[in-house]
Amino acid sequence: MAKYALVTGGSRGIGRAICLRLAKDGFDILINYRSGKDAALAVKAEVEALGRTAELLPFDVADLESTKGAIEAWQAAHKDSYIEVLVNNAGVRQDAVLPMLEAEQWHKVISTTLDGFYNATRPVVSKMMRKRNGRIINMASVSGMMGLPGQTNYSAAKAGLIGATKALAKELASRGITVNAIAPGFIVTDMTEGLDKENLEKTIPAGRFGRPEEVAALVSFLASEESAYVTGQVISINGGLYA
Ligand code: NAP
């Protein structure tokens, strides 16, 4: 039977690398994105070239009705299957020091991460519970662990996601479902484009930004059967930036 993984924000950056890695691991992939259809179609073709199926599932994770609607429509069309792995990866950053941070920027970042977690996880988790099997992997950040200046919104959102991860892990541990968070440091994607890479690299013990594929390798482990006893954890991948 096909095994399905849903990756929110799967069209670019870390999400794209996760889609490809989970396809190599034998999953059929549901690629969520918000607006970049061409990028999502390119990932779909790459997944198919690896011999797995891929479906596009466009929705804004911050929007309850469209997220719930898209996931439930997929579930209705695939009654014999279920989403075994959910990667809550969609995220945005809108940095500004607090006196300059507009309410819109505050809400946008909080909502994409925290409402996104709730909106995508709730429709998926009941079926996992019935099957007594599932993997939920939440993309947090070093920013949610140590706090970064100019990122009160982003640090708050990611710290909140870590809290939700720990609580849900305890709710679901007896049902064979694990819930973990990954906290990357600086990874080379569109999100870190425009940062002062040369100076930031001096602050990273490993001396470089990470690659999306390195984060995807961690997702691969957390999505695997072998990781069954790892739950409620926040796993850092940051080149030693914060330990
Ligand atoms: P990215 O390159 O900017 O890609 C973001 C992805 O999320 C895109 O596929 C985008 O789709 C999607 N997305 C954004 N808002 C969405 C929404 N409301 N609904 C559905 N999809 C949405 O970002 P990234 O660097 O790969 O980051 C991925 C995750 O890792 C994020 O949660 C980020 O906070 C976290 N992270 C990244 C870093 C880093 O250094 N890059 C470090 C720590 C944590 P569209 O193009 O269609 O909008």
Is pLDDT at 118 greater than 90 in this prediction?
A: yes
Residue 16 lies in a domain: yes
Is 154 tagged catalytic?
A: yes
Q: At 57, which CATH number?
A: 3.40.50.720
Residue 243 lies in a domain: no
Q: Is the CB of 239 under 6 A from ligand 1?
A: no
Q: Give the span between the Cα atoms of 236 and 231, in whole angstroms.
A: 14
Ligand 1 center–CA 234 separation, angstroms:
18
Beta strand ranges found along the chain (DSSP E): 4-7, 28-33, 54-58, 83-88, 134-139, 177-184, 234-237
pLDDT tens sequence across 159-211: 999 999 999 999 999 999 999 999 999 999 999 999 999 999 999 999 999 99
Range of the domain at 142: 4-237
Ligand 1 center–CA 75 separation, angstroms:
24
Strands 28-33 and 134-139, bridge-based pairing: unpaired
**Which numbered atom of ligand 1 lies nearest the CA of 143?**
43
Mean pLDDT, the chain, as a whole number? 98
pLDDT band, very low/low/confident/very high, at 1 (cuts 50, 70, 90): confident
Q: Is the CB of 13 under 6 A from ligand 1?
A: yes
pLDDT tens sequence across 71-117: 999 999 999 999 999 999 999 999 999 999 999 999 999 999 999 99
Cα–chain center distance at 204 = 23
Q: Give the span between the Cα atoms of 156 and 154, in whole angstroms.
A: 5
pLDDT at 49: 98
Residue owning the nearest CA to atom 44 of ligand 1: 141
Q: Is residue 187 classed as helix, strand or coil in its secondary structure?
A: strand
Residue owning the nearest CA to atom 9 of ligand 1: 9
Q: Give the span between the Cα atoms of 19 and 12, in whole angstroms.
A: 10
Number of domains composing the chain: 1
Q: Is the CB of 88 under 6 A from ligand 1?
A: no
Residue 229 lies in a domain: yes
pLDDT at 243: 87
Ligand 1 center–CA 192 separation, angstroms:
10
pLDDT at 85: 99
Q: Is the CB of 9 under 6 A from ligand 1?
A: yes
Residue 242 lies in a domain: no
| Single pTM value for the model | 0.99
pLDDT at 65: 98
Beta strand ranges found along 20-77 (DSSP E): 28-33, 54-58
Of the residues 4, 154, 229, 242, only one is catalytic, namely 154
**Which numbered atom of ligand 1 lies nearest the CA of 34?**
47
pLDDT at 149: 97
